[in-house]
Chain A
Amino acid sequence: MSTLSLSGITKSFGATTVLHGIDLAVADGEMIVIVGASGCGKSTLLRIVAGLETPTTGQVAIAGREVTQLEPADRDIAMVFQNYALYPHMTVAQNMAYGLRIRGTPKPEIARRVHETATLLGIQPLLERKPRQLSGGQRQRVAMGRAIIREPRLFLFDEPLSNLDAKLRVQMRGEIRRLQQRLGVTSLYVTHDQVEAMTLGDRLVVMHQGRAAQVASPMEVWSRPADTYVAGFIGSPAMNFLAGTLAEDGAAVQLRAGPLLRFTDGPRPGGNGRPLTIGLRPEHVLRAGAAPVAVLLDLVEPLGSETVLHGRLASGEVLTARLPGMVPAAGTQLELHLPAEALHVFDAETGRRLDA
């Protein structure tokens, strides 16, 4: 039985529809990351699960119980907010205990659980402090503590790391993942950061304009993106897109940029001349091999172990490559190679992935 199931969730604010029918089943103990650009409806979806918004249509069920009409407090969930929302006038211990206190949990029980949770998170020495006396990372932990202490069926995270600096973010990301696996609590995690999404999620929901563009494991999303949006959103630097047409009765693509690439995994449907969009990740571009293209570099970004090159092809299209070692100067002409085995093939009109 799935811990959380969403069926046909839509949400409209007046005339604008922000969610167009979301279906999702989350298994017990699974960590689902909802990722997408701002305005894609990911936060709205999370708030609907939390009960802070009501869906226009559709149902939310948690642990088999239909909760669409229930108050947040009655849904057996806990939420970590982007700005933590710790009550500023209460100490860390009071903040964590507040939910339990309202539910009428006996005092010794509360004390025991506060102690346990604080030990788990390593915030024992902070229990008597006020939130404003804490650093960003400590606040983050307290916010987690406030969620954990209630032992809910479902954790909801609303971009919990976006207020932290880069280094701390990486550290807390690891902590959240370890903690979630240790406690085995089903989680829904919203972020706009694709690295967070890739590293944290058992499965990703990539949202685009109120729809789930793809629901799959991080590696699946990366290696077999369902459409050009997902392909361009996941991966950094973003995937290159080159225009082309189907050739050799579906066995190859004729790129506008020049080379003819034969598909290594089999022919694609459609007649010769069918317009295609070919995706190629920058890290897959090679310095040597078949299918050479001339690139005029206009920006070179050395990252130490590797270099990101931005350039323009003769066809006017932009090509980004991530290559180890070399640092050529901007403005130079360079020959790069497009390996046929790393291509992603999309229909140029619908943007959907075309498999062999």
Chain B
Amino acid sequence: MTDDATLARRALARQRRERWLAHAALGLGVLVFAFPIWITLVGSTHDAATIGRGDVPLLPGNQGPENFAIALGEGGGRMHTSPAAGMLLNSAIMALTIAGGKIAISLLSAYAVVFFRFPLRMLAFWTIFLTLMLPVEVRIIPTYQVIVDLNLFNTYTGLTLPLIASATATLLFRQFFLTIPDEYVEAAKIDGAGPLRFFRDILLPLSVTNIAALGVILFIYGWNQYLWPLLIINDRSMETIVVGLAKMIGSGDSQNEWNTIMATAVLAMTPPVLVVVLMQRWFIKGLTETEK
């Protein structure tokens, strides 16, 4: 027979053991995810020679400000020398246009699909839904052809338009709109609000947290685009930072200025991180709760 005191002691010991295990697992996770970023951060503060020698420093050096100044203002890398400032701006334009455009068209299409009854409504919805299976990468050749035929090569329109057209956001807004009680619609009808008024005065304010959460996801999606910008932009002044960063790394035996590349990489990472950090509250709100 074990008495209650022994049982309590065992329970405590087990709790302690479990907590230790949890922390160990979390620590391992942090290490796996954070270590490459740490290397990048550290790399951006040394001179080219230190990294070029082949040993990877684990502690920050003293070349940080110089490296970032070069990366931002002049660009670096033997193969490619666009300054990061311009590329960051291009990326920002692209990411914001994609996020904004996607949200705008998907809000409207979800609104139409959920709140109106019209012939072929479900066909329209499923057609939109089908585009989920056809991301830009799959339809890249015909899309390229279309954009070139429309004389949109090397334009922001050509850069963003094909990426805006997709169903993910429509689907999410549809699901959200379906949770909005019919009574709101009916109350608005009795109050005399027409469809556009209802959309603007009631539906949009209710969707704010969802829009914010989706905005964060879509901004990062847009920011990280690689293949399409690589294809449709060959004017250096319009290059995005993700593409530019990749182009900075030379192939073969060429000597890379890793310090500048690392600094550019840090610069490329910063905006998405900032967006997530600043929008975190909204982001979590949008994913977990609805204002109802």
Contacts and interface: CB of A to CB of B under 8 A. Distances in A.
A82 B291 CA distance: 19
A217 interface: no
B35 interface: no
A85 B181 contact: yes
Contacts of A89: 202, 205-206, 208, 291
A58 to B, nearest CB: 21
A1 interface: no
29 contacts: A51-B189, A52-B186, A72-B189, A73-B189, A73-B190, A73-B191, A73-B192, A73-B193, A78-B190, A79-B186, A79-B187, A79-B190, A82-B183, A83-B183, A84-B183, A85-B181, A85-B184, A85-B187, A87-B184, A87-B187, A87-B201, A88-B292, A89-B205, A89-B291, A98-B191, A99-B191, A99-B192, A102-B192, A102-B197
A81 interface: yes
Given A85-B186, A88-B206, A99-B190, 7 more contacts: A71-B189, A73-B193, A85-B181, A88-B291, A90-B205, A98-B193, A132-B291
Interface residues of B, number: 18
A50 interface: yes
Interface size, A (range): 20 to 34
B130 to A, nearest CB: 30
Contacts of B191: 73, 98-99, 102
A83 B292 CA distance: 11
SS of B interface (majority): helix
Interface of A: 50-52, 71-73, 77-79, 81-85, 87-90, 98-99, 102-103, 132, 146
A99 B190 CA distance: 8
Nearest to A73: B192
Interface of B: 181, 183-184, 186-187, 189-193, 197, 201-202, 205-206, 208, 291-292
Nearest to A156: B190
Contacts of B193: 73, 98, 102
A43 to B, nearest CB: 12
Contacts of A90: 205
